[in-house]
């Protein structure tokens, strides 16, 4: 594995020493048995004295979603959740959602009741109709003109947004899995973080993963940075709430690359953790397949430039959605085969899970806006290095 380590180290050094650079990055590559690579480069805060390390704590944003999906699948296995029943059975507030059909001349939203009830399956697939203000012009208009709070505030009010279309008819990336977290809470009678600790993070040994930062973690916390138009970076005084009103199943966790590698390994091992199953092999195989049918996911337009650029993985390649991951329908140029799982987090965190070859990885930076070119290219170079190592013949 020395060739992989050298190649991966070079990628990490490159992105922290280039122009434009990233302030710091940590990364891990794992197979079914353990980590093949653990590395980091740069600083936790630009210009600071503390180096980035593999155990650096980061806000992991939408890479939270896969844990919420896993919790839902566990409840399906226990018979407590029917993915195709009205989700308002478990999260009653979902029954109040209305469809946004446009705006009156004076800017008043035009709303109607949906004809189709939202299911938890729709929430996990992002077909329920919820969006994000940084990826959708109508949601951004609701925020700018009508005071709709950002989901980053982690409040109940921030979840009370209209649907962008009739449930089940389109794919739109948004706060759907925050609502799936509310489904989990409604069934278990516990906060989502407690469910994660008991059913996922605890059994997998993910002791640095939670909704909030412990005092003993703060010294390992990386700051989120803002990329300027000129490529410069500025540390922000921005943190996800440590004691949020809502445990946001779509984006609210803090974690480390070392912790997330344990979650990736569980999916590589057909749902099995070090001390027993988290999910059954049958559930994993089904969840890891395309559940969108002929529908495809689409490019994410950067509606709020400070939060996201236009974003699409492998442009021009068809991509589907599993429970709850992106699926590349064709082989990717990095070496990732068709049918692999992947997704990302707003502050330029990226992961992939290749169950066919038994390999995956996680890349963590803390930069806005999303789809930062330096970060994306570095991540793809890391993944490419992993597959180049995988193809090397074994030493005699």
The model's pLDDT over 341-391, given as tens digits with 9 standing for 90+, comes to: 999 999 999 999 999 999 999 999 999 999 999 999 999 999 999 999 987
How far does Cα 270 stand from its chain's mean position? 20
Reported as a single tens digit per residue, the pLDDT across 280-305 is 999 999 999 999 999 999 999 999 99
For residue 392, pLDDT beyond 90: no
Are residues 71 and 192 in contact, defined by beta-carbon separation less than 8 angstroms? yes
Instruction: Answer whether 335's CB lies under 8 Å from 391's CB.
Output: yes
Tell me the catalytic residues.
62, 65, 173
Predicted TM-score (pTM) of the model is: 0.97
Report whether 58 contacts 255 (CB < 8 A): yes
| Average pLDDT estimate for 60-75 | 98
Confidence class of residue 149 from pLDDT cuts 50, 70 and 90?
very high
- Quick one: which H or E segment has residue 264? helix 257-268
Residue 390 is predicted with a pLDDT of: 86
**Is the pLDDT at 340 greater than 50, yes or no?**
yes
| Residue of 341, 321, 337, 334 lying closest to 377 (CA atoms) | 334
pLDDT at 391: 78
% of the chain surpassing 70 pLDDT: 98
Which of 82-86, 206-210, 371-375, 389-393 is the least confident region?
389-393
CA 43 to chain centroid: 23
Average pLDDT, the chain: 96
Give mean pLDDT, residues 223-245: 94
- What distance in Å separates the CA atoms of residue 41 and residue 294, rounded to the nearest whole number? 41
Confidence of residue 243 (pLDDT cuts 50, 70, 90): confident
pLDDT average, residue stretch 312-333: 96
| Predicted confidence (pLDDT) at residue 5 exceeds the cutoff of 90 | yes
Enter the DSSP assignment of 333. Answer: T
Q: Which pLDDT does position 396 carry in this prediction? A: 39
Nearest-angstrom CA–CA distance, 44 and 48? 7
Distance (Å, whole) CA 351 – CA 44: 20
Tell me, what's the pLDDT at 393?
60
Per-residue model confidence (pLDDT) at position 272 = 98
Query: Which pLDDT score is estimated for 395?
Result: 47
260 to each of 10, 132, 208, 375, how far by Cα in Å?
22, 24, 9, 18
Q: What mean pLDDT comes out for the span 308-321? A: 96
From the list 366, 53, 139, the residue with the least C-alpha distance to 238 is: 366
Domains for the chain: give ranges and CATH numbers.
Answer: 2-55+225-239+256-391 (3.40.710.10), 75-185 (no CATH)
């Amino acid at each position: 594995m020395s060739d992989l380590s050298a190649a991966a180290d070079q990628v990490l050094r490159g992105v922290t020493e280039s122009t434009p650079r990233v302030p710091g990055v940590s990364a891990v590559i794992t197979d079914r048995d353990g980590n093949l690579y653990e590395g980091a480069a740069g600083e936790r805060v630009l210009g600071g004295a503390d180096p980035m390390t593999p155990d650096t704590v980061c806000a992991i944003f939408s890479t939270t979603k896969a844990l919420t999906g896993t919790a839902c699948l566990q409840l399906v296995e226990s018979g407590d959740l029917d993915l195709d029943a009205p989700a308002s059975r478990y999260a009653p507030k979902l029954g109040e959602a209305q469809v946004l059909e446009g705006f009156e001349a004076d800017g008043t939203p035009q709303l109607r009741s949906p004809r189709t009830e939202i299911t938890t399956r729709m929430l996990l697939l992002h077909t329920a109709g919820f969006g994000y203000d940084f990826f959708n012009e109508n949601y951004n208009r609701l925020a700018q003109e009508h005071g709709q709070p950002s989901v980053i505030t982690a409040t109940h009010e921030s979840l009370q947004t209209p649907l962008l279309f009739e449930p089940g008819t389109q794919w739109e990336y948004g706060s759907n899995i925050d609502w799936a977290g509310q489904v989990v809470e409604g069934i278990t009678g516990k906060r989502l973080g407690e469910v994660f600790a008991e059913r996922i993070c605890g059994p997998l040994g993910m002791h640095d993963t939670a909704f909030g930062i412990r005092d003993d973690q703060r010294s390992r916390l990386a700051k989120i940075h803002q990329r300027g138009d000129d490529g410069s970076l500025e540390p922000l005084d921005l943190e996800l709430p440590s004691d949020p009103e809502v445990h946001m199943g779509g984006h609210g966790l803090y974690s480390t690359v070392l912790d997330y590698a344990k979650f990736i390994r569980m999916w590589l091992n057909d749902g099995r953790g070090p001390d027993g199953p988290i999910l059954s092999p049958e559930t994993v195989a089904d969840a890891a397949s395309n559940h969108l049918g002929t529908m495809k996911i689409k490019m994410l337009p950067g509606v709020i430039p400070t939060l996201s650029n236009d974003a699409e993985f492998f442009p021009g390649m068809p991509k589907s959605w599993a429970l709850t991951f992106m699926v590349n329908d064709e082989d990717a140029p990095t070496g990732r085969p068709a049918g692999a799982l992947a997704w990302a987090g707003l502050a330029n965190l990226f992961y992939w899970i290749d169950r066919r070859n038994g390999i995956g990885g996680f890349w963590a930076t803390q930069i806005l806006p999303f789809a930062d070119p330096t970060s994306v290219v570095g991540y793809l170079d890391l993944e490419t290095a992993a597959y180049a190592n995988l193809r090397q013949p074994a030493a005699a």
